[in-house]
Amino acid sequence: MAVVLITGSNSGFGLEGALAFARNGDTVYATMRDVAKGGRLQRAADGEQLSLKIAALDVNQPKTFDAFIRQVVDEAGRIDVLVNNAGIVRPGALEDISEPALRVVMETNFFGPLLLTRSVLPTMRAQGSGFIIMMSSLSGLAGLPGDLPYAASKFALEGATEALRHEIDRWGIKLALVEAGMYATAIFDSSMSGDALLPADYPVDSPYRPLIASRLKEVHDRMPQAFHPGPVGELFVTIAQSDGTRFRWPADEVAEKVLGTMLGQNDAGRDQFLRMVAGTDWWSEGKSHAD
């Protein structure tokens, strides 16, 4: 059985992935920034009589990565699978988002997974095997208004992962991207504060406020139809057991459709598709609100 390390395991995809690997009989290190938030995962594992290890790992603290990897290898002897799942969202228009907010999204969603991957690579090279799974998003394929920091971080992650794939394949190390649509996970919680659905500190006088409010309302209204993250946890296990030939894995039928559309269009077709998906023609046409 494999030794598996997962980030962001206190909820959503990370929690479901930790349980799925544990059901498979794997040795699971389910990490999160604050282990005090691991109660839900532990209760779920106990309820199914599953064994897993909950450990503290902050993806924004790369200086701790090497020591943590050494600890896992000392205890388990190897690391076979790394699932880079932890991520955050900060909605807003570029003019309205502070530099620290932009940077924390990039640190969490891009630099964190990339640097943790760098820390685990020497172990996997020595083993001559390993599988690294990056949790991406349709936002890594389609940059929509109001989603700029998150889209930028996921576009960067996609490009880095694609390049890295060819750097490390000679050592039998495999890489995969999971492309997900909208899921009912805690990642949107910080984006849904107050009656207006805007972050509490969003500039009141922003000229972009109607656009961002409209986009967040759309997300909020669609949440009842959002996918449950459970199947994505099972998908992690499926990917880890695959031969590594497939690189991009759609997590759901929406993602599969978007992948097929976005990867086969010219610039004009892509732009038209994005405007249709975002539903923001009203904004580009200078109107005050959506029709």
Contact 18, 30 (CB under 8 A): yes
Domain boundaries, the chain: 3-284
- Integer Cα distance of 90 and 52 in angstroms: 31
Give the chain's count of helices (H) and strands (E): 11, 7
Q: What are the catalytic residues?
A: 150
Beta-sheet strands, E only, within 156-277: 173-179, 248-250
- Phi then psi for residue 125, to 5 deg, are -65, -45
How many angstroms separate the CA atoms of 32 and 59, rounded? Answer: 8
pLDDT at 195: 40
Contacts of 291 (CB under 8 A, 6+ apart): 282
Contact 131, 123 (CB under 8 A): no
Q: Determine how many CB atoms are found less than 10 A away from the CB of residue 158.
A: 20
CA geometry: angle at 228 spanning 226 and 229, to 5°?
A: 120
What is the reported pLDDT for 118? 98
pLDDT tens for the chain, residues 1 to 291: 999 999 999 999 999 999 999 999 999 999 999 999 999 999 999 999 999 999 999 999 999 999 999 999 999 999 999 999 999 999 999 999 999 999 999 999 999 999 999 999 999 999 999 999 999 999 998 888 999 999 999 999 999 999 999 999 999 999 999 998 888 766 555 444 434 578 788 899 999 999 999 888 888 888 887 889 899 999 999 999 999 999 999 999 989 888 888 777 777 876 777 778 777 777 777 887 777
Chain centroid to CA 229: 12
Distances (CA, A) of 269 to 4, 90, 259, 278: 41, 28, 14, 14
pLDDT at residue number 186:
62
Name the residue among 229, 102, 111, 218 with its Cα closest to residue 178: 229
Question: What is the C-alpha separation between 174 and 197, in angstroms, rounded?
Answer: 40
Instruction: Please answer whether residues 147 and 93 qualify as being in contact, where contact means their C-beta atoms are separated by less than 8 angstroms.
Output: no
First to last CA, the chain: 55
Contact 27, 76 (CB under 8 A): yes
The pLDDT assigned to 193 comes to 43
Q: Which residue has the tokens 């498979």?
A: 24
Q: What is the pLDDT of residue 187?
A: 54
In three-state secondary structure terms, 130 is: strand
Amino acid at 195: D
Three-class DSSP category at 178? strand
- Residues paired with 133 in a beta bridge: 83, 176
DSSP H helical segments within 199-266, as ranges?
209-222, 230-240, 253-262
Superfamily of domain 3-284: NAD(P)-binding Rossmann-like Domain (3.40.50.720)
| Cα 118 to chain centroid, rounded | 18
